[in-house]
Amino acid sequence: MEIIHKTFDKCPACGSDKRFVQTLVEIAKDRGLARENWKMFFDSRRGYVLDQNRVILMPIGSKVPAFQIATDICMECGCIYAVGLAAGEGTIKAEQLPPFTPAELPLSS
Ligand SMILES: [Zn+2]
């Protein structure tokens, strides 16, 4: 499966690069409360592109298409927008049937 990894550095509405949650993350890093490579978003959703009725038929360890969407809020105009989109392969794990475990995608920290 083709891997998708896109990031968006500026607000699509006003062009500002100042983001609310990213600003809070930088403050936490400055205070030593977070790792330098730590990421946090306003919202981050992950999932598998798979009919729930099919998962019961698939062996543990099966590779399936997966995705992640990360959003933040513009500090200038308040627009909520996607800062990252990722898609790739995820693995079905025994302890997660159902629901699934998040995939190891580029936006994960
Ligand atoms: Zn904006």
Q: Using one digit for the tens of pLDDT, what is the confidence trace for 83-105? A: 999 999 888 777 655 544 445 55
pLDDT at 11 over 70: yes
- Per-residue pLDDT reduced to its tens digit, 51-81: 877 777 888 888 888 899 999 999 999 999 9
Compute, in angstroms, the gap from residue 39 CA to the centroid of ligand 1. 20
Compute, in angstroms, the gap from residue 73 CA to the centroid of ligand 1. 8
The answer to whether 92 touches 61, Cβ cutoff 8 Å, is yes
C-alpha 109/C-alpha 93 separation (Å) is 20
Q: Report the chain's mean pLDDT, rounded to a whole number.
A: 85
Instruction: Give the full edge-to-edge strand order of the sheet including 63-73.
Output: 4-7, 80-91, 63-73, 43-48
Show the 3-state SS of 63-83. EEEEEEEEEEEECCCCCEEEE
Compute, in angstroms, the gap from residue 16 CA to the centroid of ligand 1. 5
pTM of the prediction? 0.76
The one-letter amino acid code at 56 reads: I
Compute, in angstroms, the gap from residue 12 CA to the centroid of ligand 1. 7
C-alpha 61/C-alpha 92 separation (Å) is 5
Compute, in angstroms, the gap from residue 54 CA to the centroid of ligand 1. 41
In the structure, ligand 1 is a single-atom ion and the residues with CB under 5 Å from it are 11, 13-14, 16, 74, 76-77, 79
